[in-house]
A and B are shown apart, each in its own frame.
Chain A
């Protein structure tokens, strides 16, 4: 089957643009001040969370309000790996992602009993349970949480190397390392989403979203495919959560399992950018960051505004901002459509057989 697609820019130009952008992002710690790198780190991690949630809600129809469970589990598993077992933070982050997947398995058995909207609150309840349970983990400070031991990030894998090559302080080198990891994770998540959605399984997923009965009738198994997406996004979210808390260096149950920070923001980013599209979260995270910056002096006003914009988008433009741009201009970045199987030889034969006239 052919999977060639067209975009308004043409393929080589888009790829060249993407590579140039990635190279620029990679070079940021060399050319930009540390505060900018830290800001970009938080944008990139929010983007990773948003891409994962978009895959869940926008493509698999699993509207979870409990993704903070995986962020928190990733963070706590990483802290446990460092403080209790003396491992490197980056190994800890990987463990964080794996523990999140392990937790997602029983959670899926429970949450998948709930349909639609009830899945949303069911996942929320589970996340709240994990938050309360984390508050009982006395070895990691119970309800008041704990900090990374002093100097943990200084000795982290890669930090001494970056420090000597770039000639910067340990703290700046640690910022650079986690920034590059977040950048890598964002690119990897985007690429993995793209190839997953263009794969046979991703095609099945989108078929389910468009017409569940028709998809089932051609052999797509909804439970299996949705469970796979649930586990994959749990891994991405847990890993990202661990990275976020390497940078924060302090974990408390309320911060690690915050529904506002790790789920509400992410939902608004995806909805405003364009749910169910791959470029949507990227557009959304840019708008979110601008709003947060512009309204930084007005307390929670940006949250109220985000909520109102989100409601407005759902009422009047469900495709979000990327959907509107794409509709108006016809530009398709990261297109997910497949060309139908080609029947050209048959067509040619019929035309040849038809009498001229």
Chain B
């Protein structure tokens, strides 16, 4: 029974990783940009929620609703002012610019909020749990997984059912032809990054509600998110969800054997999947 419990905890943890990864997957799918600052932007969003809640004296849920549009604007501006200038055939400039941004965000948060760990407190719901037969699951981890599934579903609907999604797909396939059809790629890219930042804010909310965070933990979140995207297959949103679950389950089983092996087990699962299926489970993009 302990194995079933571990499996379930892993799936729930995987929901959080899928939320970390969804924004990365969306941005990669639309513009082939790998944002090395993604993890630090999630942590930035967590501090934003914390700050809004403290300054306005509102609950973290209300703060999330205020922080999400702010992060959309942050994403939009970053894309318009910075990332759009370095997109191109040469992969070096976008990598180095996002890496620089990662270091800037991390250290600016360190200067502004110190290295002390923080948490978003949601009140009694944090400790509530449901009894499902012989296993017990926390309400917040359940909400995290449900949100991850909902986010992936909504992003897919957006991608395949709306005119914005059509523009996303068209720009992704062929920028020049999309431009001839009256699409402005720079704005489409900014839209995608803005949406990715809204998802990142939701991920930040659950991150802060589940566990402590501090300015230094962004890069590790980037690695989990990246592993989820690669395992799922580049450009596939449902694949990203599956990838998140794989990492979550691997980490949960590793931690069950020895708590020090949690992160290492996730990395090992990633390496094994990549050796067996170099393009992930559900590859859509060709590069």
Contacts and interface: CB of A to CB of B under 8 A. Distances in A.
Contacts of A128: 220, 223, 263, 267
Interface in A247-273: 259-260, 264, 267-268, 271
Interface stretch (A71-79, A112-120, A178-186): A112-120
A113 B274 CA distance: 8
A259 B219 contact: yes
B93 A314 contact: yes
Contact of B91 (A116, A136, A264, A308): A116
A299 interface: yes
Contacts of B103: 260, 264, 268, 303-304, 306-307
A159 interface: no
B92 A304 contact: no
Given A303-B103, A311-B104, A267 B219 contact: no
B226 interface: yes
Contact of B97 (A61, A114, A126, A311): A311
Contacts of A318: 93
Contacts of A129: 264, 267-268, 271
A125 B92 contact: no
Nearest to A271: B96
A315 B97 contact: yes
Contacts of A308: 100, 104
Interface residues of B, number: 41
A245 interface: no
Contact of A132 (B85, B96, B267): B267
B111 A301 contact: yes
A239 interface: no
B239 to A, nearest CB: 15
Chain B interface mostly: helix
Contacts of B77: none
Given A116-B91, A304-B111, A124 B223 contact: yes
B86 A315 contact: yes
A310 interface: yes
B43 to A, nearest CB: 15
A324 interface: no
A170 to B, nearest CB: 37
A275 B96 CA distance: 11
Interface string B74-96: 00000000100110000111111
Contacts of B267: 125, 128-129, 132
Contacts, number: 118
A132 B266 CA distance: 12
A301 B110 CA distance: 10
B107 A303 contact: yes
Contacts of A267: 96, 99
Contacts of B92: 57, 61, 63, 275
B227 interface: yes
A125 B104 contact: no
Interface string B36-69: 1000000000000000000000000000000000
A18 interface: no
B101 A307 contact: yes
A110 B223 CA distance: 16
Contacts of A299: 110-111
Nearest to A115: B287
B260 to A, nearest CB: 7
B275 A304 contact: no
B255 interface: no
B270 interface: yes
Contact of B85 (A61, A122, A124, A315): A315
Contacts of B219: 124, 259
Contacts of A310: 96-97, 99-100
A65 interface: yes
Interface in A88-142: 110, 113-118, 120-122, 124-126, 128-129, 132-133, 135-136
Contacts of B264: 129, 132-133
A335 interface: no
Contacts of B86: 314-315
Contacts of B202: none
Contacts of A268: 100, 103
Nearest to B267: A129
Interface string A292-327: 000000011101101110110011001000000000
B222 interface: yes
A30 B226 CA distance: 51
A120 B36 contact: yes
A311 B95 contact: no
Nearest to A109: B275
Nearest to B234: A118
Contacts of A311: 82, 96-97, 100-101, 104
Contacts of B108: 304
B114 to A, nearest CB: 10
A122 B95 CA distance: 13
B183 interface: no
Contact of B260 (A63, A110, A136, A300): A136
B223 A304 contact: no
Interface of A: 57, 61, 63, 65, 110, 113-118, 120-122, 124-126, 128-129, 132-133, 135-136, 143, 259-260, 264, 267-268, 271, 275, 299-301, 303-304, 306-308, 310-311, 314-315, 318
Interface of B: 34, 36, 82, 85-86, 91-97, 99-104, 107-108, 110-111, 219-220, 222-223, 226-227, 230, 260-261, 263-264, 267-268, 270-271, 274-275, 278, 287
Given A65-B99, A301-B111, A314-B96, 9 more contacts: A113-B274, A114-B274, A120-B36, A121-B223, A124-B219, A125-B226, A125-B227, A304-B103, A307-B102
